[in-house]
Each structure stands twice: as C-alpha cells, then as structure tokens.
Amino acid sequence: MNRWLRHHQYALRVALRRLRQHPLSSLANIVVIALMLAVPILGASVLQSSQPLARQLSVAPQLTLFLAADLPTDAQHALLERIRAESGEAVAGAALLPRDKALETLRAEPAWAQALAALPDNPLPDAIVVTLRDSETPVRQATALADQWRQWPGVDHVQLDSDWVRRLESLLSFVRWGVGLLAAAVAIVVLATVFNTVRLQALTQREEIAVARLVGATESFVRRPFLYLGALTGLAASLLALALARVALLPLNEILGRFAHSYGIEWSVTLPAAADLALAGVVVVILGAAAARLSVTRRTRF
C-alpha cells in the first residue's frame, strides 16, 4: 500500500513539474477548455432558472370561449353548465362574461375609452372565461380542452391566453437540446486538447521514457504522470470555467432583472446545484485522464 501511494505521489509531482515547465502552453490549454466549459454551464443555469418561471407563469392558464352572436341566454348558461359538468376536475372556475359588462370593463381603460366611444354599438361578443386548475402539464391540458370546446355548437372561437407560455416551453426544450449538444462538443474539445498536449509532452520526454524503461520501469509507471497531467488539466479548467460562469452571471442578472421587472416578475439566473457542478467537474477530469491514457499509450511504446 505504501509503495502504491509513493508511486502516485511521485506521478503527481512529475505532472505538476511538467505543468510548471511549460506555463504558457499549459495555461492556454486550460483557458481553451474552461471557455468551452463555461458556455454549457451558463446554458444549464439559464435553463434551470427558466423552468420555475415557466411553471409560475402557467400556474392557472385561462381560456376564453367567444360565443356566437345569436346564441340565446339559456344556451349560454347551458354551455357554462356543460363545461363545469364535463371538465370539472380540470376547471377551477368558469364564469359568463356578458358583452355589456365586457364593454364597461374596456371603457374603464384609458387606452380603449376613446376608440370605443367612436363605435355606434357594442362589437364585443358574449364570452365564457374558464380558469384551469394547476397541473404538471398545464399548457398541454389547456390545448386539449380548447380543441374539444371548439367543436361545440354555439362556440365561435376559443382563445388560449397562455399560448406564449407554450412557446416559452418549446424554447426551453430547444435550449435543453442545445445544452446537450454543447456538452458533447465540450467533451470532444477536452479529449482533443488533452490528447495533443500529452502527445507533445510524451514526444518531449521520449528519451527520458526510454531510459526509464531500460532500468525496469513498467508501462503503468511511465503512463501514470501523464494521466495525472490530463486529470489536473481537466480539474483546473473546471474550476476556471466555474469562476468565469459566476462572473458572467453578474451583468447577465442585472440585465434580466430590469427586463423581468418591466413585466412585474422576479427572475434571476443562478448556477446549477453544487452536486451537479461537482459531477460535471469529475466527468471533465475523467475525460482528461482518458485522453491522456490514449495519447501516451500510442506514443510511448517504442
């Protein structure tokens, strides 16, 4: 056990010494990997912070059923009772909005008062306003009900007031796929960068490796410092990427805060959970060590 620990301590010291021997190239590799890592971290942060916002905005989607102009009052109340009877579990509330009351509400708004005063009669139809209960998929449920109610006689048009929330959820799905593709691109960059770095190190240390083998060094003993070199590069890049992402969130949150405040909501972007960040860092370290192993295995057998 002590011998195993001494071998790994020696390999770690050698890897650190090789990083110090080439500070500019080592720093350049770390910065390149860190910049690539920071992009999916920021993407995951925006995605994770936007999901609660989407759920908050779509907690109680409303649907407005505009009724036919010639529909009598009894038929309007019959439609209202049918909605409550057939969709009671999904509906939190439903109310009839007469056209006269809707006109009064609009006239109370300064932006509409002047335009409505110029009209000879009331252009608004009678309507039924339906508020849905909260659910795991509110937009999907609202869309299904709207499609069903459009087929009913006496219903002229159904307006889903949360159409833009559905578009937001579609955008989040697109961002989710984009973050996945970025993560795959980062993995390729880590493998390629560490592979080339370790390959150059192996070629530089070619004579040293040959002498070590002549005196009985095993293949694992020769490879071990390069594995630590790749792992240390991945670790340093992960820490630098985390710092860059944290710094980038400061101006981003300031801009998003002003934008969200104009809509009367609170929204800020935070980094993913520490466990997720730690797992991502471990994956990058493993990728660095794997790339180093592949490179040194191919380049040191002579």
The residue-averaged pLDDT of 155-164 equals 74
200 has a pLDDT exceeding 60:
yes
Poorest-pLDDT segment among 45-54, 149-158, 177-186, 190-199: 45-54
Give the span between the Cα atoms of 123 and 115, in whole angstroms: 12
Domains in the chain: boundaries:
2-56+167-299, 59-161
Query: Per-residue confidence at 244, pLDDT binned at 50, 70, 90?
Result: very high
- 129 beta partners: 64, 95
- Note if the pTM is more than 0.75: no
Q: Which are the contacts of 135, defined by CB distance < 8 A and separation ≥ 6?
A: 90, 141
Give me the pLDDT at residue 302, please.
42
Q: What is the mean pLDDT of the chain?
A: 78
Which of 52, 56, 19, 12 is CA-nearest to residue 194?
Answer: 19
Q: Which CATH number fits domain 59-161: 3.40.50.300, 3.30.70.3040, 3.90.1580.10, 3.40.50.720?
A: 3.30.70.3040
Q: Pick from 46, 52, 110: which is nearest to 265 by CA?
A: 52
pLDDT > 70: percent of the chain: 78
